[in-house]
Every structure is written in C-alpha cells, then in structure tokens.
Chains A and B, each alone.
Chain A
Amino acid sequence: MGQRVLLSSKEIHIILHRLACQLLERHLDFSKTVLIGIQPRGTFLAERLTEILQKDYGVKQVKLGLLDITFYRDDFRRGDKTLEANKTKIDFLVEDKKVVFIDDVLYTGRSIRAALTAIQSFGRPDEIELLTLIDRRFSRHLPIQPNYRGRQVDAINGERVKVMWKENDGEDTVYLISE
C-alpha cells in the first residue's frame, strides 16, 4: 500500500482562494446564494470557504448549511453495516435561492444524486451548482459534473483519494492511496 501527496498545504491554500474568487465572480454579494456542505467530509471545505469569503473578501453574510444524505442514499441494506447518520443543519429555506453544494471529493456522483433529492425537503431552489476540491475523472456512475473544481485527478478504481483538514486531521493535505 503506497500513498503520495496530491496537494500540499500551500497548494490547498491557493486553490481555496481561487475557488472563493470563482464563487464571488458568479454570486457577488451572496444575497440570493446559500452554501451547503455535504456531510460528513464536505463540511470542512464549506466552512473554510465561508471563512475566506467573509474575512479575506469582505462578504458580509454567507449563509451556510450542512446537509446529511444518509437517509437518501441508494445503498441502504446493500452493505454489511448500518449507515450512520450525521447532523443536518439548515436553518433557512432554499426556496428561490442559488444553492452551491460543497463536497471534498467527487467520485461516482451518487452522493450528489442523494443530495439533490435531500435538498428538496427544504424548498425549491432557483438553481443548484456543485463545487468539489477533487474531481476524480472517468469514474462517474451518473451524469453529474462540478461547476467549480479544485483539481482534476485521474485515479483508477483501486485507489483512494483522502482529503485531510487541519481542524479534523491535524494537517491540510490530499493523498492518493493505492491498495
């Protein structure tokens, strides 16, 4: 089993600022926009981007929600383990809002499919976009593509992409792990 660094702390720092700028370019003052971090691993990225937008780019208010997709997944009863849920925290309506889903890795697209269903419980959004730090090309099971991507990666199915965050894992690094 080997692992190599895909993105270092410095590269992540630069990419996060670029992604924040791209969001800013399209959404300006964020008055009609809400960011939704996909639980569990998308929330760190969503919180980081929110912080950058507010502190470094002076956006007054960024609405941030956390969405858990466990009860909307399509693999219930297909594995050995019970799927464990995480907290959902969306204390606003997404009705007529521009929603941006934020997740760390886009792989098969099934999580995003579940998120698209889950978000309907909170209203009818005006539009939905997708932002991911890592986009694993050529491994999609569904016709889903990101609107904003940090880095595109060609990884084969036996390999795993692991995103580490300082606040949770002690370092900002993205690894490519091969079994």
Chain B
Amino acid sequence: MSQLSVNHLLGIKYINKQDIDLIFETADHFKEVINRSIKKVPTLRDITIANIFFENSTRTRLSFELAEKRLSADVVNFSAGQSSVKKGETLIDTVNNILSMKVDMVVMRHPNPGAGIFLSKHVNASIINAGDGAHEHPTQALLDSYSIREKLGDVKGKNVVIVGDILHSRVALSNIFALRLQGANVKVCGPKTLIPKYIESLGVGVETNLVKALEWCHVANMLRVQNERMDISYFPSTREYTQQFGINKKLLDSINKDIIIMHPGPINRGVEITSDVADSDQSVILNQVENGVAIRMAVIYLLASKIK
C-alpha cells in the first residue's frame, strides 16, 4: 500500500482509511519541507495545475497555490468573475479549453454540489474538489483531522463536536466522513433548523445544548453561519444565535477541561466565536492554516504520481 486508491479527490466519501493515513504520513514530510529556509522541492516541475474558482475564496485558494508552487508545479489561476463563463460558456467547455493548453490537474471550487464528480467523468485530468456547494470540502476535513492528530496524537476515540450551520456546510459533511472513518465520535450542535433531518444516519449524534456538547467533547469545530446560502430565515436573529451557539471565554472557562477550538475560517468574530477565544492558547485556528499547505502538498503529490 503506497498509493492512493483514487485518481481524483472529489470527497472524503470516496476514499478510505488507508488513503487518509498515507496523506497524513506524506504531509508530515512536507511540513518539514515548508519549515526549511528554502521551502521548495522540484518534484512536480513537469506538472501544470489549473486553479478554477467559480466561488470566492482566500484561504483555500492561497493555500492550494502555495502548495503547488512549493512543489514546483506550473500554476494557472482562473476566476469565474473575469472569464467567458459570464458570456455563457459551459463548465465542460471552459475546462476542456483550459486542458487543451496541456494542463494535468484541476483544482476546482464550484457553487453546485457534485460539480467535481461531473467534471471527473467528462474531462481527462486529475480533479481536486476545493469545495462544491454544500456538498464536500475534502482537503479542509483532512487538515482538520491532521490538526487534531497533531495536538492529541490520534483521532481515534476522540469526541468531536461540530457547532453551527451544519445544513449549509460542506466542511461539516466532509469532517463527519473523515472523523467517522478514523474512529472518532462525532456530534453536531446547532439550531434545529440548521441540522439536516437524517444526519443521524451518518453515525453522528445531535445535541442542541452547547454547554452539554462542550462538556462531552475533546475538540470543538466552530462553523460560520453561511448567510450567503440562506434564502429564508433559519433563526430569529444573529444576537440570539450568538447567545445560544456562540462560544466565549466565560463559557470556555466554565468547562472543567482544556478543549481544542477549531474554525475553518473565515471567522465572524463575535458571532460564532469571540476574539478572546479565537486568539487563546486553546485555539488551533492558525495551525490549521499552516497544516493546510502541507496537506494540500501531500494530496497533489500523491495524485500527480498517478498521472501517466
């Protein structure tokens, strides 16, 4: 076992535990590389990667671009905002045009769930899903688990609560798949309106009381309320949401143990998490960002080695 079972990374649902272990082991080596004074290796000098973003992003896009450049790949960037997509070009046409310029790998973010899967069936390139609507965001879930492994030694047997807007969150779904695959216990916590109806069928518990959830867990992953994906009102007001599901220093100190606080970003300070918690010693938010580059280097390296 020394290669991935898949040719694309479309979601955590499509990979197995061995794949995750291989990605983490490879990421360990890349983490050492990016902490050198010269952070670059020549491995992918004959690979070209297109970053295609049909949706806004800062962290993920920068992280992918840095990962690609540190592996010495050639990188082309594409944003839907400034492109011919606005003139009515279809997704397959857009990507095939990019691929005819001899591109080997595509990193894509798209607002429609399943866009990556669709693309992988129609074009001849390795696809990495960088977020498809409310479906999956696999590299985020991998870097979250990797950060837990780094802090706690192992993911297996740990209690992880995902707090917030579960309904609209691709981070939540990918995290649930990844954590369950590695043997963690997972609960989701949030307003009933923002928790999908049959979420228990994925093997996770539901808790609507944040204090109880925090007392149970080793790790709390705080999600952002995705206002841009909400067409109706799911809770009365932001203020009420914060009172019930926001985490602050007083609440954190009242829990009788040191839990780890994670957040995939971007943070809405004062809504789901207060600044004193986000900047506290218990928060690993910036470690997550650093690990993101190492994880993406590992995923790109492992997928690129399968391109023939």
Contact = CB atoms under 8 A, between A and B. Distances in A.
Task: Please say whether chains A and B are actual partners in one complex.
Answer: yes
Interface of A: 68, 70-73, 76-77, 81-88, 117, 120-123
Given A87-B29, A88-B29, A117 B305 contact: no
B302 A82 contact: yes
Contacts of A70: 29
A79 to B, nearest CB: 9
Contacts of A76: 43-44, 304-305
Given A72-B42, A77-B304, A83-B305, A88 B32 contact: yes
A82 B305 contact: yes
Contacts of A85: 25-26, 29
Nearest to B302: A82
B252 to A, nearest CB: 36
Tell me which of A70, A71, A83, A84 has the highest count of chain B C-beta atoms within 10 A of its own C-beta.
A71
B42 A122 contact: no
A122 B33 CA distance: 10
Contacts of A84: 2, 26
B305 A68 contact: no
Given A120-B38, A121-B37, A68 B2 contact: no
B24 to A, nearest CB: 12
A71 B42 contact: yes
Contact of B38 (A73, A81, A121): A121
Tell me which of B29, B40, B304 has the highest count of chain A C-beta atoms within 10 A of its own C-beta.
B29
B209 interface: no
Interface in B2-37: 2-4, 25-26, 28-29, 32-33, 36-37
A86 B2 CA distance: 13
Contacts of A117: 42
B122 interface: no
A86 B3 CA distance: 15
A70 B4 CA distance: 17
B36 A82 contact: no
Interface residues of B, number: 26
Question: Can you list the 10 inter-chain pairs with the closest CB atoms, starting with the nearest?
Answer: A71-B41, A82-B3, A121-B38, A82-B305, A85-B29, A71-B43, A84-B2, A121-B36, A82-B2, A88-B32
A145 B308 CA distance: 33
26 contacts: A68-B29, A71-B71, A71-B301, A72-B41, A72-B42, A72-B43, A73-B43, A76-B43, A77-B304, A77-B305, A77-B308, A82-B3, A82-B4, A82-B302, A82-B305, A82-B306, A83-B305, A88-B29, A88-B32, A88-B33, A117-B42, A120-B38, A121-B36, A121-B40, A121-B41, A122-B37
Nearest to B36: A121
Contacts of B306: 82
Contacts of B32: 87-88
B307 interface: yes
B126 to A, nearest CB: 12
Contacts of B33: 71, 88, 121
A95 to B, nearest CB: 10
A72 B44 CA distance: 10
Contacts of B3: 81-82
A92 B29 CA distance: 17
A138 to B, nearest CB: 29
A125 to B, nearest CB: 14
Nearest to B70: A71
Nearest to B4: A82
A122 B41 contact: no
A73 B44 CA distance: 10
Nearest to B47: A77
Contacts of A120: 38
Nearest to B308: A77
B4 to A, nearest CB: 8
A120 B26 CA distance: 21
A112 B41 CA distance: 16
A61 to B, nearest CB: 23
Nearest to B71: A71
